[in-house]
Structure 1
Amino acid sequence: MSGQGREHRRLREHGRGDLMQRIVALTGAATWRTPVALVQGLRARKTVLRLPQAVGDHDVIGDDRDGPVTRLVVLGDSLAGGVGVDHHRDTLAGGVARRLAARVDGPVEWHVYARTGFTAREVVTLIDPQALSAADVIVVSVGANDTKNMVRSQQWRADLTTLMDTVVDGAAESAQIVLLPVPILNMCPALPGTLATTLGRRAARFDAVADEVAARNTRIRRFDRFVPPGDDLFAADGFHPSESFHDIYAGLIDSVLTDPIPR
């Protein structure tokens, strides 16, 4: 087994360890490795905080006695899990639920199925078939971990296709499905210089693949990657989105859901 293969196996066995430790180790093992990126990753590793996911994976906005319940499922990685935010009331889940409740004038129930560090291949294992089949809206967040874990582009395409096919096949015909953009990793304050640039370029390529995967099924909706305004976009670790960032994304998701022409 090659040195790169041993390193990848060791990291898989280690599980969801320290975020920057994984980034640094994989940066060093990658075929495109650069001494500058490795040094910057080692330096960032010493300062980046490790934050928990938000609490409140299951909650309801509104009173279920007021009418039929609209059901929202948020599936995926640490963005879906709200790392760095205290409660899912202030993450994508709560933000989308509030907007849905206002539009349908009724209660909205959300379920979050997410794990920090999970790739597209791993997120498939989080799917609850019963919750998925009952959902009216499904939001999927993946790609950041596939990017930083040095998953090959072909593997990313195959894993994302499997994930989205599983979601589409398991959802009701009337359900709306949104696949979020792969994050613009070079925005993250915790990732300096060359390391940020390298991961940012990979993330952009992976998002282009996600566009192609989504285009295979008209039920999957997307919105374009963009750099949102504001100075408070990141949590204390400098890597995960803040409440403000989640609120911006929730608004974009809602806009996609109300757009009569899917993207």
Structure 2
Amino acid sequence: QNDALLGQLVSKLSQYRAIEWRLLAETGLKTSEMLERLHALEAFKTDVVITSLGVNDITGGTRLKHWLEQQRELKLLLQDKFQARHIFLSSVPPMHEFPALPQPLRWFLGRRSRAMNSALNEQAALDEALAFVSVQFPMQKEFFASDGFHPSAQAYRLWSEALLEHFKERCLLPQR
């Protein structure tokens, strides 16, 4: 995990303050499955939640309308059960540029990821508790793991830096 998103973000945040964190993740989870896990989890209080959901919904055929309903349910659950004050919604990556995906599948999945990002960004703009975090990294080989599908440590570094900027924008970190 040190090279993945959470490890790199924790390293950056701990330069500002002591933090407690939890990771709830599993390869292949769709938003509906994450909701099930959160409903089953014992409640605890948290200030910030970072989500990274959507790729498995796209590859699993979840319809945009259903996914957005699940995103709304997720937000309410995070606020009500876990008292989350800030929810950072990571964008779905640009699947139309994934080297592991053949055409025309790459084009099709990319089209769906752009639609999800547009809708997620609109949701975030309507709610001050939400922040849409655009995950941008060059679509070059070194920014992908060897499978050509998952991010590399370099991509996670850029993603963690984007999240850190959102922490600063929300004044969640002390000024240096």
Range into which the TM-score falls when normalised by the shorter chain: 0.7 to 0.9
Identity, % of aligned positions: 27
Aligned pairs for 1:117-156 (under 5 A) are: 117-127=28-38, 128-131=41-44, 133=45, 135-156=46-67
**Cα pair 2:89 2:131 within 8 Å, conserved:** yes
Asked whether 1:194 is paired with 2:104, we answer yes
The aligned counterpart of 2:2 is: 89
Aligned pairs for 1:221-236 (under 5 A) are: 221-228=131-138, 231-236=141-146
| Aligned partner letter, 2:49 | I
Deviation at 1:148, TM superposition (A): 1.5
Q: TM-score, normalised by structure 2?
A: 0.86
The Cα offsets for residues 224-258 of structure 1, whole Å up to 9 and x where unpaired, read as 35343754111121111111111110111011111
Aligned pairs for 1:109-258 (under 5 A) are: 109-127=20-38, 128-131=41-44, 133=45, 135-172=46-83, 175-228=85-138, 231-258=141-168
**Cα pair 1:121 1:160 within 8 Å, conserved:** no
| Aligned partner letter, 2:13 | L
**Are the structure 2 counterparts of residues 158 and 172 from structure 1 closer, same or farther at C-alpha, using a change threshold of 3 Å?**
closer
Count of aligned pairs between the two proteins:
169
**Are the structure 2 counterparts of residues 221 and 89 from structure 1 closer, same or farther at C-alpha, using a change threshold of 3 Å?**
same
The Cα offsets for residues 63-121 of structure 1, whole Å up to 9 and x where unpaired, read as xxxxxxxxxxxxxxxxxxxxxxxxx12111111111111012x3x33311112221111
**Cα pair 1:234 1:241 within 8 Å, conserved:** yes
The Cα offsets for residues 194-241 of structure 1, whole Å up to 9 and x where unpaired, read as 111110011100111112222342111122353437541111211111
**Cα pair 1:97 1:109 within 8 Å, conserved:** no
- Distance in 1 (CA, whole Å) between partners of 2:37 and 2:138 is 29
Alignment root-mean-square deviation, CA: 2.0
Q: Which runs of 5+ in 1 are unaligned?
A: 1-87
- Distance in 2 (CA, whole Å) between partners of 1:241 and 1:100 is 21
**Cα pair 1:117 1:145 within 8 Å, conserved:** yes
Q: Which runs of 5+ in 2 are unaligned?
A: 172-176
Whose relative contact order is higher, 1 or 2, with alpha carbons under 8 Å and at least 6 apart? 2
The aligned counterpart of 1:32 is: none
**Cα pair 1:222 1:256 within 8 Å, conserved:** no
Deviation at 1:189, TM superposition (A): 1.1
Deviates further, 175-184 or 226-235 = 226-235
- Distance in 2 (CA, whole Å) between partners of 1:170 and 1:215 is 23
**Are the structure 2 counterparts of residues 204 and 168 from structure 1 closer, same or farther at C-alpha, using a change threshold of 3 Å?**
same
- Distance in 1 (CA, whole Å) between partners of 2:113 and 2:74 is 18
* Structure whose alpha-carbon radius of gyration is higher: 1
Deviation at 1:129, TM superposition (A): 4.0
| Aligned partner letter, 1:165 | L
